[in-house]
Structure 1
Amino acid sequence: MKKKLLFLVALIFAVVVAGCSSSDTSSSGEKKSDSKDTLTIAWLPNESGSDLTETRDEIGKIIEEETGKKVEHQTTTDYIVAIEAIANGNADMAFLGAQGYIEANNKNDKVQPLVVPTGPSGTLEDAVYHSWLAVEKDNADNYKDGSDFAIDNIQGKKFSFVSNSSTSGFKVPSTGIVDYFSEKDDFKDLTAEDLLEGGDDKFFSEVLYGGSHQGSAVNLLSQKAEVAAFCDTCVNNYVELVEGEENKAGAIYRVKDDAAEPFNTVTGKEFTLISVTPVLNAPFVINTDNIDEDLQKQLLEVMSSDDVANNEKVFVPEDSEFSGLFKKTEDERLIEVEDAWFDPIRELSK
């Protein structure tokens, strides 16, 4: 498992930010495109909650001011709805995970990545977030091999994924589980498909899907599941580190007392990480059938601008209580990304 996950991280490479102007004049003196009057942005369930309304609106406001286009937001409760919307042209832009982008691109190669959030360095070299496998704090010792955490005992448990279209909530954790257990004689023929459903003759006794990362975490904390997969960035607004090192196995997190839905039903509950895997950051993507080259260039310039990077409703300072989309710890920003950057995620399906 470690070899493949290290391979995934090692394949991350930097690309150069590009931008140029188009026709007609924006508030910043740049040219505007005449291709569309309205831009529709589709959002996955993870980013569709009311806690991120201000961030979605802020991104829309920036695009409107710089392009002259009206922005409409399409929030969803299902991964497939957002993926289909951008693939079939009902949405012009979308914020998708790497796996969601690959699925949309497979359906329609006119769906292409535009920008991706960097890591603290301001480059793609550390543009990763983290896929977690977590258990309730009181049960954490059951998932240890000596003093270290291990995933051996997840077999036979009630397990929660996010969606089978989720990168960090299915694709990466399922690949890691298969890699780990297929080295054991009893599971040498195990495949990711074997993890999709539970049962007496299955790898897991029961398999649930949270529909969002937040939903998967709540499945764990409400005791519907014994182990759950979800990511750090999607639950950071709701939880706080109480023990251990952030994004390390053994770290203990607690749901904040004032956590918004759906965590308002499990406030104060604690969970422990038993496995942590880095994952390629999620891109903003566009349907190039809907958006002409002039508008593509303009959107790239807008999204990768300093105005967006320094906007505290988009890149939220560490000490802020605001519930935003991204954290600002050092030089994080949005920069241009190419399709090939997501090849490590494609490799997980081979």
Structure 2
Amino acid sequence: MKKSFLLLLSFVILFIAGCSSSTNSGGSDKDELTIAWLPNESGADLTEARDEIGKVIEEKTGKTVKHQTTTDYIVAIEAIANGNADMAFLGAQGYIEANNKNDKVQPLVVPTGASGTLDDAVYYSWLAVEVDNADQYKDGADFAIDSIQGKKFSFVSNSSTSGFKVPSTGIVDYFSEKAEFSDLTADDLLEGGSDKFFSEVLYGGSHQGSAVNLLSGKADVAAFCDTCVNNYVELVEGEENRPGAIYRVKDDAAEPFNTVAGKEFILISVTPVLNAPFAINTENISDDLRKQLLEIMTSDDIANNEKVFVPEDSEFSGLFSKTADERLVEVEDAWFNPIRELSK
């Protein structure tokens, strides 16, 4: 009996080990891949763009792609960190937060700049005000942010790179040079009040939402980025992505900008930001599948797909713009260290 029991126990251990090995193989046998999207890319106007990426992955891998849209940054971050999503398109800060929660979350690819390389793989974090109030934020002929103190301010989310991390760091760096704000920290900007840096702090939940907070009069100043609002606005004066540039909401702009069509805003501060990555959870994605996804995402088929990289003269609402040689390229975790440094 004892010998039989030991044999049975050995078989059970080997069976469990085999199951564990299969479980940890990275989901090579998964029939379905789930991609999580931040609120900025979850709108109905980007459905066809999301579906196009899913379609290409399905055609090349034979797997079904499911899209998980969200209305909150933390939902997308948690989804990729806890394995409920296999891939996610996250901002740099969102990726870092997911990686901190689970180091099996790793970047796969990032969109380049016009050069087709990582050298110019940046977008821009804006601080904007309504055009009629522009003179309040000038120091002589140039724009300055001194007057934002005491105002109603809109961020995107405290998990947003260009909608919180970058602008809050810039504000703290600028004002902490002044004696009365020498102890200012990013935490001091999280909420408003009579004894706070801002009189009121709002969160748009998305870059689009933060912009609408400004244009609807809820906020005096708002942080949001260029790429997330490009589908809804047009440059009417100045040089794009430079202080003093004036943008106007298109008459036929989709939600949520349909409520503020024709409204104009002006940029008072512009900061370059590292582009957002597609990340994967390597507990769900096997190394073979990761290599396959990398080949797909960095292919000419994706780079030349006008529903993924949208030409300048196109009316299609896409994720990325095509002005020259933009494409997706492989990226490593260390590339995001400059954003990590902002939290130190």
Bin of the TM-score, shorter chain as denominator length:
over 0.9
- Structure 2: how far apart are the matches of 1:39 and 1:300? 14
Q: Deviations over 1:289-335 (max 9, x none)?
A: 00000000000000000000000000000010100000000000000
128, 138, 148: which one aligns with 1:144: 138
Native 8 Å contact 1:35 1:295 kept in 2 = no
Is 1:201 matched up with 2:203?
no
Aligned match of 1:343: 337
Q: Percent identity?
A: 87
The count of corresponding residues between Structure 1 and Structure 2 is 318
Name the residue aligned to 1:87. 81
Q: Does residue 104 of the first structure (1) align with residue 98 of the second (2)?
A: yes
SS in 2 for 1:275: strand
CA distance in 1, matches of 2:283, 2:153: 40
- Select 2:72's aligned residue among 74, 78, 102: 78
Take 2:282 and 2:29, find their aligned partners in 1: how far apart are those partners? 11
Distance 1:72 1:66 in 2: 15
8 Å Cα contact 1:156/1:205 also seen in 2 = yes
SS in 2 for 1:308: helix
Tell me what 1:229 maps to: 223
User: Secondary structure of 1:122's match?
Assistant: coil
8 Å contact from structure 2 (residues 244, 267) kept in 1? yes
Residue 301 of structure 1: aligned partner: 295
Question: What amino acid is the match of 1:213?
Answer: H
Verify: 1:172 aligned to 2:166, yes or no: yes
**One-letter amino acid matched to 2:330:** E
Query: The residue matched to 2:75 in structure 1 has which SS?
Result: helix
Partner of 2:113: 119
Structure 2: stretches of 5+ with no match in the other structure: 1-26
Q: Of the candidates 222, 238, 249, which is equivalent to residue 243 of structure 2?
A: 249
Once superposed, which parts of structure 1, at least 4 consecutive aligned residues long, lie more than 6 Å away? Answer: none
1:274 to 238, 253, 268: 268
How far, CA to CA, are the matches of 2:204 and 2:158 in structure 1?
10
Tell me the distance in 2 between the aligned counterparts of 1:137 and 1:299.
Answer: 45
Code of the residue aligned with 2:312 in structure 1: it is E
Residue 168 of structure 1 and its aligned partner are, at CA, apart by 0.1
Report the CA distance between 1:35 and its aligned residue.
2.4
Q: Does the CA contact (< 8 Å) of 2:154 and 2:219 recur in 1?
A: yes
Note if contact 2:35-2:86 (Cα within 8 Å) is conserved in structure 1: yes
> Helix, strand or coil for the counterpart of 2:307?
coil
As a proportion of its length, which structure holds more helix? 2
Amino acid at match of 1:201: D
- What is the aligned partner in structure 2 of residue 58 from structure 1? 52
Is the counterpart of residue 323 in structure 1 residue 317 in structure 2? yes
Aligned to 1:7: none
**For 2:165 and 2:221, how far apart are their aligned partners in 1?**
16
2:154 matched residue in structure 1: 160
Query: SS where residue 174 of structure 1 aligns?
Result: helix
TM value normalised by structure 1: 0.90
| Partner secondary structure for residue 116 of structure 2 | coil
Looking at structure 1, the residues matched to 28 and 166 of structure 2 have their Cα atoms a distance apart, in angstroms, of: 41
Structure 2: which amino acid aligns with 1:108? Answer: N
TM-score calculated relative to the size of structure 2? 0.92
Aligned-partner Cα distance in 1 for 2:286–2:165? 32
What CA distance in whole angstroms lies between the structure 1 residues aligned with 2:173 and 2:28?
50
CA RMSD of aligned residues (A): 0.6
1:133 Cα deviation from its structure 2 partner:
0.1
| Counterpart contact for 1:35–1:291, Cα < 8 Å | no
Q: Distance in 2 between matches of 1:249 and 1:75?
A: 33
